[in-house]
Structure 1
Amino acid sequence: MQLRHGTFSYLPDFSDADIAAQVRYALLNNWPVSIEYTDDPHPRNVYWEMWGLPLFDLDEPDGVLAEIDACRATFPRHYIRLTAYDATYGRQTTALSFLVQRPPDEPGFRLDRTDAADRSQRYGYHPYALDRRPGERYSG
């Protein structure tokens, strides 16, 4: 099972050339990009840790790719995503977001069902990665 997260989640994982093409597209649209990482990819966890500061005023994707490589080297077993923001609306609006790295082993999620009043059922997710401590969730 692979986590489906972001704009291109049902496509095969991007190569560095594919990532560079998407970064170039974002830069041509004047969208600043940021790089984020996490070891808790729960579907409702939208606030990931930011790698450095958002990257403004770039013309070529080389600077973004260098930051992605540095983040990969520091966190080889984390999820890493690239997010591009469109400021034309006057507020922070995500224009493009996709994974640039996933851990080698993704343990997945368990669906928990709970019976409630009037025979209704409630569902919740439990990520197997959370059975381990932060920093050790994807250590193999």
Structure 2
Amino acid sequence: MSDMQDYRSSLEDVNSRKFETFSYLPPMEPEGIRKQVEYLVRKGWNPAIEHTEPENAFDHYWYMWKLPMFGETDADRILEEAAACHKAHPNNHVRLVGYDNYAQSQGAAMVIYRGKPV
């Protein structure tokens, strides 16, 4: 297994931390993020947007941006809300969550904007 890569991350180095599955991959282009939003909508999951300061991402609850977007099926509307959250909180991480009503849990969660540590 010499092909395995060690992702060096630490609590002291805020920039090194990984969040959710997609953070181990190269950053997603806007088209990739859109495809993930469309997947979330196709699954019937309710989108919600959360944000937090980078230094609090591991040991604090994330703040909810407005209310979950129950029943929203327009990917543009979801992406616009995520962009509005990022604009309002440019130094925070912004995460998109898809709530699965059937399983009563998160079906998907991904950081789509990484904040800058202060």
TM-score with structure 2 setting the length:
0.79
Q: How does 1:24-43 map to 2 (within 5 A)?
A: 24-39=38-53, 40-43=55-58
In the alignment, what sits opposite 1:71?
85
Normalized per residue, the structure richer in strand is 1
- Summarize deviations over 1:79-127 as a string: whole Å, max 9, x none: 11111111112x3x011111111124x5xxxxxxxxxxxxxxxxxxxxx
2:40 is matched by which residue type in structure 1?
A
1:96 is matched by which residue type in structure 2?
A
- Say which SS state the counterpart of residue 45 (structure 2) adopts: coil
Shift of residue 64, structure 1, vs aligned partner: 0.5
Q: How does 1:1-140 map to 2 (within 5 A)?
A: 1-39=15-53, 40-45=55-60, 47-89=61-103, 91=104, 93-104=105-116, 106=117, 138=118
Distance in 2 (CA, whole Å) between partners of 1:41 and 1:12 is 23
* Larger radius of gyration between Structure 1 and Structure 2: 1
Unpaired runs of at least 5, structure 1: 107-137
Kept in 2, the 8 Å contact 1:7–1:96? The answer is: no
Shift of residue 72, structure 1, vs aligned partner: 1.1
Unpaired runs of at least 5, structure 2: 1-14
Normalized per residue, the structure richer in helix is 2
Distance in 1 (CA, whole Å) between partners of 2:57 and 2:70 is 28
Identity %: 31
Distance in 1 (CA, whole Å) between partners of 2:79 and 2:109 is 15
Alpha-carbon distance change, 35 to 42 in structure 1, aligned in 2, over 3 angstroms: closer
TM-score with structure 1 setting the length:
0.67
Task: Count matched residues.
Answer: 103
Kept in 2, the 8 Å contact 1:31–1:84? The answer is: yes
Distance in 2 (CA, whole Å) between partners of 1:62 and 1:87 is 22
Kindly report structure 1 stretches of 4+ aligned residues shifted beyond 6 Å: none
